[in-house]
Amino acid sequence: MIFRPKIVAFMCHWSLPPEIDVSTPSLIRGYPKIRIVKTMCAGRIDPAIVMETFLKGADGVLVVGCHSPDCHYVDGNTQAERKVKMLKRLIRLTGFDPERLRLEWANASEIENLARIINHFRNQVASLGASPLTSGESNSDVVINIKAAKAVAENFTLRLLVGREKEMTENANVYGDKVSQEEFDRLLEETLEAEFIRHKIHQLITEKPMSVKEIAAETHMEPSQTLCHIVNMRRKNMITLDHVKGTTPLYKALEAH
Amino acid sequence: MSNKKVGAVLVVGGGVAGIQASLDLADSGFRVYLLDQSPSIGGVMAQLDKTFPTNDCSMCILSPKLVATGRHPNITIVTNAEITGLDGEAGDFKVKIKKRSRYVIEEKCNGCGICAQKCPVEAVDRFNEGLSNRNAVFVEYPQAVPLKYMIDREKCIGCGTCYEVCKAGAIKYDQKDSETTLNVGSIILAPGFEPFDARLKSEYGYGRFKNVVTSIEFERILSASGPYGGLVLRPSDGEIPKKIAFIQCVGSRDYQLGNTYCSAACCMYGMKEAVIAKEHTPSPLDATIFYMDMRAYGKEFDAYYERAQGEWGIRFVRSRVAGVTEDPRTGNLVIHYVENETPKTEEFDMIVLSIGMHPPKNIEKLASTLGVQLNKYKFCQTNTFAPTETSKPGIFVCGAFSAPKDIPESVAQASGAAAKAMEVIASERGTLVTAKEYPPERDVSKEEPRIGVFVCHCGINIGGVVNVPEVVEYAKKLPHVVYAEANVYTCSQDTQKLIKEKIQQNNLNRVIVASCTPRTHEPLFRETVQESGLNPYLFEMTNIRDQCSWVHMHEPKEATEKAKDLVRSIVAKAALLKPLKKPRINVTPVGLVIGGGVSGMTAALELARQGFEVHLVEREKELGGHLRSIHYLLEGNENPQERLKALINAVNENSKIHVYTETQVTEVSGFVGNFKSKLHQNNGEEKEIEHGVVIVATGAVEYKPTEYLYGKDPRVMTQHELEEKIANGQFKAKNIVMIQCVGARNDERPNCARVCCGQAIKNALKIKEKDPDAEVYVLYKDMRAYGFKEDHYREAATKGVLFVNYSDERKPQVVNDNGTLKVTFYEPIIGKEIEIEPDALVLSAATIPNPDNKRLAEMLKVPLTKDGFFLEAHMKLRPVDFATDGVFLCGMAHSPKYIDESIAQACAAAARATTILAKDTLEMEGIIANVSEDLCSGCRICEPICPYGAIEMKDKNGKLVAHVIEALCKGCGACGTACPTKAITMGHFTNEEILAQVRAALVEVKA
């Protein structure tokens, strides 16, 4: 049997051909596993929703917004672009293939273009095979990673940074200085890495307390680096010392940090 | 030249020394500007976990001083600031200050911390020595004063979030650096020190090997509020070490790096860190200290050293450490060291480097701006007879900047510098200060009790064990409690504001704080309560830290239950509290100084120069004391006898000082501000004097040895006798042996006599100077040449003085073999007994307490140490105060010390005394006994029971009744307990109050 990938396509109201609501056979004929979710603007696509979509078993997520100057909401499309860029970086950290997420531009009259986009993405995802999240193993590394990534996407710090990116890189920060894209990307990358690993640790020790060495082995990190994260996670009340076994302290996650 | 003088002082550096100097100045009627280059005051002491030799929690004893400084009406704290220029002269300086922007409006920020919670950027937390992160908007530590956030402009990306979330509107991104000029009469420099950069000692692997940490990092590791929550962990893998080593003298006594001096405090803090590490580690921890000499020279330090070896089982290895290597697989470390010329290695899990003190960063710039001379190590240049004076008149120095030193020495020197700074502008006392005003007291007599309870997390000190929110919820349900809440730190400045707000909002008329010890924190909270218009005695406190979270650390549930019990019980008492009046008493602005040695004379002169009359009493015929027998110095070329003469002249010529020689104080009565003393002169004359304070400066005496043939062989003498002989040109010996620690560091007197190592080096150098061919052996246990004295130790060794270590197990043997004096000792390096036939044997005899101390102590009602020296109020932070108000001490009466240290302490005692003498009236404690004259039967049972003589019998309408002298009563309550007719009640501790507390403590009230 040929693999038919499950794809969720988030499409903006204005890039969605009117006929698609009725049924646009030419567009999605032959793709019974494509689900189109409509939003008013691609800028609405919340990174956390995308992560949840993957967690729920999508093999691919497609986001379609309007071409650059055509956004009905001034710059919702570029907002979407920043979010997807951040998401791809985040997904890269999880071992999940970032190619399963794609952002494309189209407008409502470009039915053929849209058909090409969908077809292309479908083939791309098909070649990647079924999402590792659909294997049914609830504790596999990739499941934990994606859960952590989802928590990162919901995290205040990240949402804040992405939200302020445009203003700071294109206009000016509060001191009247323009932040270069490189500088911003560097900070974003650092923050993503730190937040991802901390949320992953949080996931790992939610079920049972673990030591620094055990966490380091699970996360493929130096134990010294792991300890630094543990220290900062304690500072932020994400985790606590559970007990000391011999000469080994074991930490556990705290709820609702 | 203008004669204008300004009654204000600038204190540069807000560490413990700068804080102490500021408080003394401000309490004596001067305006103070306390400048610090960091965003908050506290200095290095704020980073420490515990302090030696009492193992007190550093933050717990510092915090009340921080808060007192922060709220003192006469102190202005200027943070983020540096000096950029100086004009004028002593009495009238104009100091240019540059203040870096905080990007936060200090007046608006209330320290809530929401900005830091929301800030998306993390930065390395320097307060935690890089072991954790903070945010780009931050305070250095939770109890920081002032508790004002600051934006780290280097790290901030300018996202604007803090501005959005700040409820107080305190964020100001366009705040500019500002410049201002302060007009002050004198300046005190207390910029502290810079910890040695351990990377420079590359052979120890710091910065390369993860499990090698510095002592200051280790303080943060030990701290309960530090990065590891108080557990000792290896930075490489987060495991608790089983075997830890301390390497001493890192960046000190190091000739390769040029840091030749000894950093003076590291031996003690190394030991303390080892002790505390063992206490903080749940599994057995093996601790070893690699050292050259264990310099436990301070008061009671050797007793601590003994306990470290015995009770705490710390291993001490006298050795030189060549280097450290790492096993990359385990992260374990191997120390390569040389013990008795034998190379050895040993593996450890973790290593702490006891790093030394270096001069503050950029100090040369400050020194040149101010025109102050530095010494060759770039510490401040001072001299023996003026230990707090810089080369520039009107500018003084204290703390580690004058030489590496520990906290009590810094504090004493700080008070000493305050005295000198006040002296310059004594005429301007009171001209620039504002008196503390409290709002009128609210009458609560007709109100039902409305109690507010504030429960402190104390970071995790309490909150880590006791479930604080649960205690708060419990408190809310107790009778009369109308308000309860939890605070991260109830003692912080912002919480004081909050308590006042809650009192107003909820119309509270009783306030309870459940936190730490009332001993340190009750005055602070009482003041807060008073500032809101309540009588300060409508406040109560219960200690859920020491009594719950600390002692029951491993039983959090029980600790929480106990905290509830304590709160319930104090609530029951608080409902019955009555307002009390604080009596005010007059002050006789006259000082009595007992002892006319260098300390006593200095203290008397300081008081006189502050404008107060002084009675100076000396038992001997001549002034001068111990200094009379000192003829030359180890450090510096000043002539002690000339300086002594000058000092005596200054005392005699000062019209405010009344000198009584051949006189003893035979009776002291009265109390702070109002003492009466009897002086008995040897010619039989008696005199009675009135005075407001007493300074004890009775010195110490030299031990007369009973060992090593002293007194039996004319060739055997003490160091003092040797010095006398050298000074008189009578000393001719060619072959000299000195034995250290004679009469000290033994079973009878366990502590070090401090000055004998310096004396031995000084005399050995003098002998070598006069006769380079003379052979000098110094047999020692540890050469305690601390601070800059180390260079002289080195010089003596270079000049051929032979220093040989001995242990208690193998003490030197001295015999007179048919007229030949023979000294036999074991030489550990060659491992052989050596016999020498010296023509002079010099004993470094201990300095022992003045035998008169006991009599004086009883007369003044002040305590002595086990050794027989006077015991101060607090070893760390109140080095020259007694617990008894109005009585101070200085010099060798406190413990053996060098001349400069005695002088600094004498000035300190004068400064502390001035905080009393400068006031017209003093406010006394309100918790005192009260006699109901109707109930009193006049039986006189109470009279002899009072240890303070506070009860006298008075005639009342023909009936004899007991009367309490309010200013003398210390509020112990012994009289009340003894009274057969229950005529005496103790304010704040009435029978009803105590019983209510007891009942509630035992009976579970279902909430």
Interchain proximity A231–B235, CB inside 8 Å? no
Confidence of residue A107 (pLDDT cuts 50, 70, 90): confident
Searching chain A, which residue's CA lies closest to the CA of residue B134?
A232
Q: pLDDT by residue (tens digit) across B578-636?
A: 999 988 999 999 999 999 999 999 999 999 999 999 999 999 999 999 999 999 999 98
Q: In what order do the strands lie in the sheet with B31-35?
A: B75-78, B31-35, B8-12, B186-189, B395-397
- Report the CATH architecture of A155-253: Orthogonal Bundle (1.10)
pLDDT at A176: 95
Interchain proximity B120–A160, CB inside 8 Å? yes
pLDDT for residue B489 is more than 90: no
Interchain proximity A247–B239, CB inside 8 Å? yes
Tell me which residues of chain B, numbers 189 to 248, contact chain A at a CB-CB cutoff of 8 Å. Answer: 210, 227-229, 231, 233, 235-242
pLDDT at B1007: 45
Closest CA to B301 of B679, B804, B750, B832: B750
Q: pLDDT by residue (tens digit) across B408-437?
A: 999 999 999 999 999 999 999 999 998 778
Interchain proximity A213–B282, CB inside 8 Å? no
pLDDT at A257: 41
Q: Which member of B122, B157, B240 has the closest CB to residue A168?
A: B157
Side-chain half-sphere CA neighbours of A204 within 13 A: 24
- Beta carbons of B113 and B149 less than 8 angstroms apart: yes
**B315-318 and A7-12 strand pairing:** unpaired
Top CATH class of B194-358 equals alpha beta
pLDDT at B1006: 52
pLDDT for residue B222 is more than 60: yes
Residues of B in contact with A164 (CB under 8 A): 159-161
Interchain proximity B240–A160, CB inside 8 Å? no
Residues of B in contact with A168 (CB under 8 A): 157-159
Rounded average pLDDT over B917-921? 95
Q: CA–CA separation, B491 vs B462, rounded Å?
A: 13
Confidence of residue A20 (pLDDT cuts 50, 70, 90): low
Confidence of residue A26 (pLDDT cuts 50, 70, 90): low
Q: Which member of B133, B227, B238 has the closest CB to residue A212?
A: B238
Residues of B in contact with A235 (CB under 8 A): 132-133, 227
pLDDT for residue B180 is more than 50: yes
Tell me which of B131, B239, B285 to substitute to probe the interface with A (most A C-beta atoms closer than 10 Å).
B239
SS3 B35: strand
- Report the CATH architecture of B703-846: 3-Layer(bba) Sandwich (3.50)
Confirm or reject contact between B121 and chain A (CB < 8 A).
Answer: yes
The burial of B1006, by beta-carbon neighbours within 10 Å (0-12 exposed, 13-18 middle, 19 or more buried), is given as exposed
Q: List Cα–Cα distances, B133 to A174, B123, B137, B138, B243, in angstroms.
A: 23, 5, 12, 10, 28
Determine the residue type at B830: I
To the nearest whole angstrom, how far is the Cα of B160 from the nearest Cα of chain A? 6
Confirm or reject contact between B122 and chain A (CB < 8 A).
Answer: yes
Confirm or reject contact between B699 and chain A (CB < 8 A).
Answer: no
Tell me which of A189, A210, A224, A234 to substitute to probe the interface with B (most B C-beta atoms closer than 10 Å).
A224
Closest CA to B38 of B172, B152, B117: B152
Confirm or reject contact between B101 and chain A (CB < 8 A).
Answer: no
Interchain proximity B120–A249, CB inside 8 Å? no
Q: pLDDT by residue (tens digit) across B744-758?
A: 999 999 999 999 999
Confirm or reject contact between B132 and chain A (CB < 8 A).
Answer: yes
pLDDT at B717: 98
CATH number (3.30.70.20, 3.30.2350.10, 3.40.50.20, 3.40.50.1820) of B101-176 reads 3.30.70.20
pLDDT for residue A27 is more than 70: no
To the nearest whole angstrom, how far is the Cα of A194 from the nearest Cα of chain B? 10
Residues of B in contact with A229 (CB under 8 A): none
Residues of A in contact with B240 (CB under 8 A): 244, 247-249
Interchain proximity B240–A191, CB inside 8 Å? no
Residues of B in contact with A231 (CB under 8 A): 131-132, 227-228
Q: What is the mean pLDDT of chain A?
A: 90
Confirm or reject contact between B523 and chain A (CB < 8 A).
Answer: no
Tell me the residues of A at the B interface, defined by beta carbons under 8 Å apart.
156-158, 160-161, 164, 168, 173-175, 177, 179, 183-184, 187, 191, 194, 211-213, 216, 223-224, 226-228, 230-232, 234-235, 241, 244, 246-249
Q: CA–CA separation, B740 vs B760, rounded Å?
A: 8
To the nearest whole angstrom, how far is the Cα of A43 from the nearest Cα of chain B? 20
Confidence of residue A4 (pLDDT cuts 50, 70, 90): confident
Q: CA–CA separation, A102 vs A11, rounded Å?
A: 12
Confidence of residue A22 (pLDDT cuts 50, 70, 90): very low
Confirm or reject contact between B163 and chain A (CB < 8 A).
Answer: yes
Confidence of residue A25 (pLDDT cuts 50, 70, 90): low
Closest CA to B767 of B803, B814, B735, B791: B735
Interchain proximity A173–B239, CB inside 8 Å? no
Tell me which of B237, B329, B553 to substitute to probe the interface with A (most A C-beta atoms closer than 10 Å).
B237
Which DSSP category does B738 fall into? E
Residues of A in contact with B209 (CB under 8 A): none
> In this prediction, does ipTM exceed 0.85?
yes
Kindly report the backbone phi and psi dihedral angles of residue B768, in degrees, each rounded to the nearest multiple of 5, phi listed first. Answer: -65, -35
Question: Could you give the residue range(s) of every CATH 3.50.50.60 domain in chain B?
Answer: 1-100+177-193+359-440, 194-358, 586-699+850-917, 703-846
Tell me which of B119, B129, B131, B133 to substitute to probe the interface with A (most A C-beta atoms closer than 10 Å).
B133
Interchain proximity B132–A231, CB inside 8 Å? yes
Interchain proximity A235–B240, CB inside 8 Å? no
Q: How many CB pairs under 8 A join A and B?
A: 92
Interchain proximity B157–A247, CB inside 8 Å? no
Q: CA–CA separation, A42 vs A36, rounded Å?
A: 13
- Residues A143, A146, A151, A155: what is their CA dihedral angle, to the nearest 10 degrees? 170
Q: CA–CA separation, B228 vs B243, rounded Å?
A: 18
Determine the residue type at B725: K
Q: Percentage of residues in chain A with pLDDT exceeding 70? A: 93
Q: Which member of B174, B238, B239 has the closest CB to residue A230?
A: B238
SS3 A85: helix
Q: Percentage of residues in chain B with pLDDT exceeding 90? A: 86
- Beta carbons of B268 and B275 less than 8 angstroms apart: no
Q: CA–CA separation, B69 vs B19, rounded Å?
A: 7
**Looking at per-residue confidence, does B90 or A106 come out higher?**
B90
Domain ranges of chain A: 7-134, 155-253
Interchain proximity A164–B133, CB inside 8 Å? no
Q: Percentage of residues in chain B with pLDDT exceeding 70? A: 99
pLDDT for residue A244 is more than 50: yes
pLDDT at B749: 92
Q: CA–CA separation, A176 vs A167, rounded Å?
A: 11
Q: Which member of A160, A174, A177 has the closest CB to residue B163?
A: A174
Handedness of CA B674, B675, B676, B681 (dihedral sign): negative
To the nearest whole angstrom, how far is the Cα of A200 from the nearest Cα of chain B? 18
To the nearest whole angstrom, how far is the Cα of A58 from the nearest Cα of chain B? 31
**What is the fold, at CATH topology level, of the domain defined by A7-134?**
Rossmann fold (3.40.50)
**Looking at per-residue confidence, does A20 or A7 come out higher?**
A7
Confirm or reject contact between B157 and chain A (CB < 8 A).
Answer: yes
Q: Percentage of residues in chain A with pLDDT exceeding 90? A: 66
Rounded average pLDDT over B903-913? 98
Residues of A in contact with B207 (CB under 8 A): none
Q: What is the pTM of this model?
A: 0.89
pLDDT for residue A167 is more than 80: yes
Confidence of residue A255 (pLDDT cuts 50, 70, 90): confident
Q: What is the mean pLDDT of chain B?
A: 94
Rounded average pLDDT over A176-204? 95
Confirm or reject contact between B118 and chain A (CB < 8 A).
Answer: yes
Q: CA–CA separation, B700 vs B901, rounded Å?
A: 14
- Report the CATH architecture of B1-100+177-193+359-440: 3-Layer(bba) Sandwich (3.50)
pLDDT at B174: 96
pLDDT for residue B1 is more than 80: no
Domain B929-986 has CATH 3.30.70.20: yes
Q: pLDDT by residue (tens digit) across B669-707?
A: 888 899 999 999 999 999 999 999 999 999 999 999 999
Range of lowest pLDDT (B134-138, B263-267, B826-830, B850-854)? B826-830
Rounded average pLDDT over B321-345? 96
To the nearest whole angstrom, how far is the Cα of A207 from the nearest Cα of chain B? 20
pLDDT for residue B952 is more than 90: no
Extract the runs of DSSP E, i.e. beta strands, from B24-80: 31-35, 50-51, 56-57, 75-78
Confidence of residue B2 (pLDDT cuts 50, 70, 90): low
**What is the fold, at CATH topology level, of the domain defined by B451-574?**
Rossmann fold (3.40.50)
pLDDT at A1: 61
Q: Which member of A216, A230, A232 has the closest CB to residue B133?
A: A232
Q: pLDDT by residue (tens digit) across B154-170?
A: 999 999 999 998 877 89
To the nearest whole angstrom, how far is the Cα of B240 from the nearest Cα of chain A? 5
pLDDT at B429: 96
Q: Which CATH superfamily is domain B586-699+850-917 in?
A: FAD/NAD(P)-binding domain (3.50.50.60)
Q: In what order do the strands lie in the sheet with B320-326?
A: B320-326, B333-339, B342-348
Confidence of residue A16 (pLDDT cuts 50, 70, 90): confident
To the nearest whole angstrom, how far is the Cα of B80 from the nearest Cα of chain A? 20
- Beta carbons of B636 and B762 less than 8 angstroms apart: no
